[in-house]
Amino acid sequence: MADELRLILYRSNRVEALLDCLVERLREAPPDPLAAECIVVPSRGMATWLGQGLADRLGVWANPDFPHPRRFIERILQAALGPDLRPVAGSVLSSPASISPLAPSVPPVTGFTPGLFSRELLGLAIFDLLPTLMARREFFPLRRYLADANDLKALQLAERIAYVFDQYAVYRFAMVMAWEDGAGGDVVPPVDPAADSLVASGAAKNDRGDFCPIGPTGRGGLFAAGQTTESDCSLVGGSASENRWQPLLWRELVARLGSPVRLLREAWRRLRAGTLAAPELLPRRVFLFGITALPPLYLGLLNEVAKLIPGHLLVFSPTQDYWADTNSPQALNRLLLRYESAATNPKALHLAVGHPLLASLGTAGRDFQEIIEEYAECLHPPDGERFVAPELGASGLLARLQGDIFALRRPLVQARTIADDSIVIHSCHSPLREVEVLQDQVLAMLDDGKLKPRDIVVMVPDIETYAPLIAAVFGRSPQDRRYIPFRIADRRISREAPLLDALLTLFELVRGRLPASQVLDFLAREPVGRGFNLDREQVGRIAQWVNRCGIRWGIDEEHRRSHGQPPDPQNTWRFGLDRLIIGYAVDGKGQQLVADILPHDDIEGQDSLSAGILLKFATKLFALAREVRTPRSPAHWAELIQRALVTFFAVDSRAVAGEDWQKQSLHEALVAVVQDSDQAGLGRTLELPAFLHLLRSRLNEAGSTAGFLDGGLTFCAMLPMRTIPFAVICLLGMNDGAFPRRETHSGFDLVANDPRPGDRSRRHDDRYLFLESLLAARRKLYISYVGYSLKDHRRLPPAVPVNELLDCLALMTATESEVEARAGAGVGAGSEHEAGDEANVAQCELARRQFVVEHPLQPFSPRYFQAGAGPLFTFATEYADFAVNGDTDLPPCPLPGPWPSPQVFNLESPSCKRLQSPLVPSPFIPPSPFVAEKSLSLFATDERVALDLAGLHAFFRNPSSWYARHCLHVTMPLPDETPADREPLFIDGLVKHRIGMLLLQNPKTLGAHHDGGSAGGSAMLRLFRARGDLPLAGSAQPALEEISTALEPMAVFLASQPAGKALPSLSIDLDLDSGIHLTGELSQRFDSGLLRYTAGKTSPSFLLTAWLDHLALCAQAPDNQDRQCITISRADKGADIYIFRELSPTRAWTLLRTLADLWQRGRQAALPFFRYSSHAYVYKMVFGRAKDQATRCLVARQAALEAYHGSGYDRWPPPDGADPYVRAMFQGANPAWSWSAQKDPAAPGGGSWEDFIAVAHQVYEPMLQARERLLR
């Protein structure tokens, strides 16, 4: 009976058939209902699919046990050697002194856990050992690399070495055994690859009396350690001086942690003898399901376990025939060339060809088949072959291709049917376009109701790159007709958990310079807001304070000193917070210093609560920043992180649902890091970056499969050994260079330098994963890649596996003459051609392209809506209006709104004909701003509307911004609102203007700057330093002098009191008879009229604001002053002084009413008025030198377009078209403003010239005609 216990092998080309076989075996002799069935699976995704499948077939499936192969091997070791994995007698563990005289004085490790020899543990042990070994000459290559290295760099090197050593223990068993035996100081690779396998059909004893496996061909096995002699010592991939450190470091690790290979050796002995220390730890039976790769070492242990308990190996195989000796076309050509040069008959070689895709992509599966056939003692039951032969003559490229692979035959030539869309390949311009095209394609698949979203899986090589794009495109409201339920799986846990991401960001933040923008971004995070009871409006208010108080970076001067910068307190957090605190208590009026601190007069009422929260947050942040400067032990870092979690985030009843799992994951990761550190004997403290690296790695490894097969459309990463069948499999990101994914090997990696069959290779795994995906698709295989460059529209090739698939598809649909032409050109599936008939090659390329759908750059391209567009279609009905009407470059405003029902567009379809009629704009989408008749009167009312004069100022400064903020409630960050992260190195234009306005408020003392030692000059310098506007150190005084010198002519004029005696403010109260009541207040009144000045040059905004005040003054008609307005601005030499003369009240009232009507129109849609462009047009029309009206109009239009789009050179202020609100409201603007009389472009904003000209003349022409120069 014992002889019948062997590993039972089942094979199939369909995973569903393997599942049915598993169900049959599970129903045989079912165990205790409460006992878990042990099913070893290669991935958590496979476990999820398997659990759902078993529940569906068995009705009930509970208490599953789905270990990973490595975890099951650890369980085997525990069963063989005992739960504690005690050191084995006579092993190297019992006499650590005999290992090496360099062993550090670390207490011997006597207790072990299942994860003792994990890569994390090895990495920490190596990290601790390296400093003690750097003095050895063998470690010179590492010493050179680690010179002046911080803890993070040293830890990353240690982890890389740990990865390589882990590979040695699994794939180069005999080599590390020889290292431990001290066979020379060089690298000792095993002579025979079979020596690295535990599998044997018999046993013998070596000179020591130990059991030694004998391979099936009689070769020496793993434990014939005495067979490796000094003469076998050779280096792989490097010289002796470069690699001698590896055996020495391995022996040091063995002295500290014990020998994993000797534990495995002892476990194999006990398994073979049947003397287990804890047999109850083995399951009653074990199933290995869907595993497509295993190291020979693991397979050997499983082979021995299967002699003690029933073991079932259920393996996916693309074909039922033996295919390990098939050759790809490239390999076949290389072999033929080699043997032809040796004058050998190629036909005598009997080389197997088979299917080119299977030979080219199936290296990983082929190697695993060889390992099973050669080393595993498997039983083949009569029902073990569960292959499902595809139907002969099946229609559809996918079914035919799968049938050819199953039968190991070359692609069959057969005509492609037009309706065949079982394999589709799409070429796009960017990953975003890939996702947008995928959405349309999935909607089309679901349109007939035969498929559900759960029947479709989308896999990408890099899920972190595509996840934000997927969320942006597919994240629609359930009420949207384009809504598709979806889930994104396989994301790193730090990306899925907002709380953990915020916590890690906090510690990355406090170890740095604490720049203002990053601190505010952290404060705006939702978990932080809950922890400090902050809403979004309060965060915005705090951001304004930070910016206006001049905070840039650094806690204080000492913090700056620690970062190697001069210890200047200006623009630090302490500098700005002091201004904020004193400003709450003292009103400094913007000019009065209190203990050399300028109070910030902007806190009143409820703002004090926000200010208190900011101070509380800053205090805790600064305290944490000081704590993290000192290196700590992992246990102390874990304690500090737990305290930070409580301090900065809501951990009580205020925490939202769903954060418990994040806190539990954090706790488990911290415990794991601390336990690994203790078990590794880590005696060093760690700097914060190194500990964060450990913690982040643990959190990412603990990521779950949440979202995988969780209902709806599944997006997941392309992971090896995830052969799960779906009706539709979509592969995104199949770009050349991105897939197969590249694996970077270290120069000291001896496994990579001397590869053998069965070694893990990420490139081979990815190629085999592509083949598995092709075979797992039941109805359709969808592939997309970036096929064009966004920069120059250059064609880009797809990934190599996709290219090979295209070659194969071209062969399957070619005629006999095309096949002969292809053969003559040297082109085949996967083959390379260096010469041949160019016409034939071009014909082959044309045959390949018939399978590729090339998409335009933008989703609103008219190609999607043209008749006979072929495979191009879209469900984005919002783009139809622009495409149908020929606005090829005019996308709609991207604002939310209820879109029409999704459907595939064609100009001949009834739905598209309906769209050719005038569209009714959505109530949430701004209609065309150029035609007033199409505007929606959203705010039309018979009631009087109150209009404030200050609001009218804001409206005409930027109607687009005003409409977005007040009507659409959309706010966009402006450049001057974004906090800067560096102290001022020079004074920019905005700061110069602000300083100049402060200087002009007291023009009599403006000249004090010329004498920096005077009381006035020193006070002025202290004032501007206290504002944080001046550069640091000695450059402040020259910068201030430059500003004062430029403003001196203006100061002289203002000091002469040109407007006479000052008057109190005047209240404005005007009824404009159009349902608008204008109110406001006019300040800076004098006997001679209003006085308006600016520290900058004359700008349209300044003039327009003064003009509106002048109109209000004339319309109100006070009796105690002259009704005129004097404007003063800076000129290149001197000052520009103009005056608006008195207007009659009726004339002023009429002009105000016209402007109020434009404001009313601007409430309905963005007004096509732009302060610089409109002014440039009217100015050229009013003051242009050209006598001919047509020429003047041409020059005026050119000036307007240049003011809107810019002249191509850096300028201040930026052009109108650069404003984010203008770009959002007027996206149809043509960026190429240069034009000729033969081709008249659109007006600024992309609309008609008539509307633009009419509004510009209504606003600016009366103002320019009324302005007179007074003095210069």
Sheet hosting strand 1066-1071, strand order edge to edge: 945-948, 1076-1082, 1066-1071
- % of the chain beyond a pLDDT of 70: 76
Q: Are residues 108 and 252 in the same domain?
A: yes
Q: Are residues 250 and 164 in the same domain?
A: yes
Q: Name the least confident of 174-178, 289-293, 491-495, 1125-1129.
A: 491-495
Indicate the helix (H) or strand (E) that contains 1153: helix 1145-1162
Q: Encoding tokens for residue 927?
A: 């209609």
Structural domain boundaries, residue 221:
196-227
What is the average pLDDT across 51-62?
89
> How many other CB atoms sit within 10 Å of the CB of residue 677?
26
**CA 160 vs CA 153, 163, 364, 1034: distances in Å:** 11, 5, 24, 49
Can you give the pLDDT at residue 641?
95
pLDDT band at residue 603 under the 50/70/90 scheme: confident
Per the DSSP assignment, residues forming a β-bridge with 424 are: 782
Yes or no: say if 1051 and 1001 are a contact pair by the CB < 8 Å rule.
no
Residue 9 lies in a domain: no
What letter represents residue 1019's amino acid?
A: A
Q: Are residues 186 and 201 in the same domain?
A: no
Can you give the pLDDT at residue 695?
93
Can you give the pLDDT at residue 191?
37
Q: Are residues 589 and 674 in the same domain?
A: no
**Rounded Cα gap, residues 1095 and 987, in angstroms:** 14
Q: Are residues 580 and 639 in the same domain?
A: no
Residue 642 lies in a domain: yes
| Residue at a domain's end among 680, 704, 728 | 704
DSSP assignment letter at 385: B
To which residue do tokens 């001397």 refer?
754
Best CA proximity match to 1054, nearest among 1103, 1002, 1109, 1098:
1002
Domain count, the chain: 6
CA dihedral 335, 338, 339, 340 (to 10 degrees): 110
Taking each helix axis from N to C end, the angle separating 151-171 and 296-305, rounded to the nearest 10 degrees, works out to 50
pLDDT band at residue 642 under the 50/70/90 scheme: very high
Q: Are residues 175 and 212 in the same domain?
A: no
Ranges of H-type helices in 186-277: 240-243, 245-257, 260-273
**Rounded Cα gap, residues 1260 and 1255, in angstroms:** 9
Can you give the pLDDT at residue 345?
56
Evaluate if residue 219 carries a pLDDT over 50: no
Q: Are residues 591 and 699 in the same domain?
A: no
Can you give the pLDDT at residue 289?
94
| Residue at a domain's end among 902, 925, 948 | 925
Residue 1073 lies in a domain: no
| Residue at a domain's end among 227, 246, 273 | 227
Residue 879 lies in a domain: yes
pLDDT band at residue 1155 under the 50/70/90 scheme: very high
Yes or no: say if 985 and 1031 are a contact pair by the CB < 8 Å rule.
yes
pTM, to two decimals: 0.77
pLDDT band at residue 1227 under the 50/70/90 scheme: low
Yes or no: say if 1169 and 1258 are a contact pair by the CB < 8 Å rule.
no
Q: Are residues 606 and 645 in the same domain?
A: no
Yes or no: say if 1225 and 926 are a contact pair by the CB < 8 Å rule.
yes
Q: What's the mean per-residue pLDDT of the chain?
A: 78
Q: Are residues 150 and 246 in the same domain?
A: yes
Yes or no: say if 1218 and 1229 are a contact pair by the CB < 8 Å rule.
no
Residue 79 lies in a domain: no
Q: What is the CATH number of the domain that holds 122?
A: 1.10.10.160
**Rounded Cα gap, residues 1093 and 1110, in angstroms:** 14
Yes or no: say if 120 and 698 are a contact pair by the CB < 8 Å rule.
yes
Best CA proximity match to 1168, nearest among 1112, 1216, 1120:
1216
Best CA proximity match to 640, nearest among 654, 625, 652:
625
Q: Name the least confident of 548-557, 1106-1115, 1206-1215, 1263-1272.
A: 1206-1215
What is the average pLDDT across 982-991?
75
Q: Encoding tokens for residue 83?
A: 């739960």
**Rounded Cα gap, residues 306 and 38, in angstroms:** 13
Q: Name the least confident of 146-155, 926-935, 1220-1229.
A: 926-935
Q: Are residues 641 and 692 in the same domain?
A: yes
Q: Name the least confident of 457-466, 630-639, 1066-1075, 1250-1259.
A: 1066-1075
Q: Are residues 209 and 150 in the same domain?
A: no
If one compares 353 and 227, the residue with the highest pLDDT of the two is 353
pLDDT in tens, 256-284: 988 888 888 888 899 988 889 999 999 99
Q: What is the CATH number of the domain that holds 613?
A: 1.10.486.10
**Rounded Cα gap, residues 660 and 301, in angstroms:** 39
Residue 448 lies in a domain: no
List, as one string, the DSSP characters of 339-373: HHHTT--GGGG--B---HHHHHH-HHHHHHHHHHH
pLDDT in tens, 358-415: 888 988 888 888 888 887 888 888 888 889 887 665 668 898 899 889 988 877 666 5
Best CA proximity match to 206, nearest among 191, 227, 190:
227
> Mapping DSSP to helix (H, G, I), strand (E, B) and coil, where does residue 21 land?
helix
Determine phi and psi for 1155, rounding to 5 degrees. -70, -35
Can you give the pLDDT at residue 893?
33
Q: Name the least confident of 933-937, 946-950, 1002-1006, 1040-1044.
A: 933-937
pLDDT in tens, 829-878: 444 444 344 555 555 666 677 889 999 998 888 888 877 667 888 888 87
Per the DSSP assignment, residues forming a β-bridge with 1236 are: 1239
DSSP assignment letter at 195: G
Can you give the pLDDT at residue 938?
34
Residue 217 lies in a domain: yes
Ranges of H-type helices in 816-972: 816-825, 838-849, 880-884, 910-915, 949-957, 959-966
pLDDT in tens, 899-917: 223 333 333 333 333 333 3
Q: Are residues 530 and 610 in the same domain?
A: yes
Yes or no: say if 699 and 666 are a contact pair by the CB < 8 Å rule.
yes
Evaluate if residue 498 carries a pLDDT over 50: yes
pLDDT band at residue 996 under the 50/70/90 scheme: confident
What is the average pLDDT across 142-162?
90
Can you give the pLDDT at residue 746?
84
Residue 970 lies in a domain: no
**Rounded Cα gap, residues 880 and 860, in angstroms:** 8
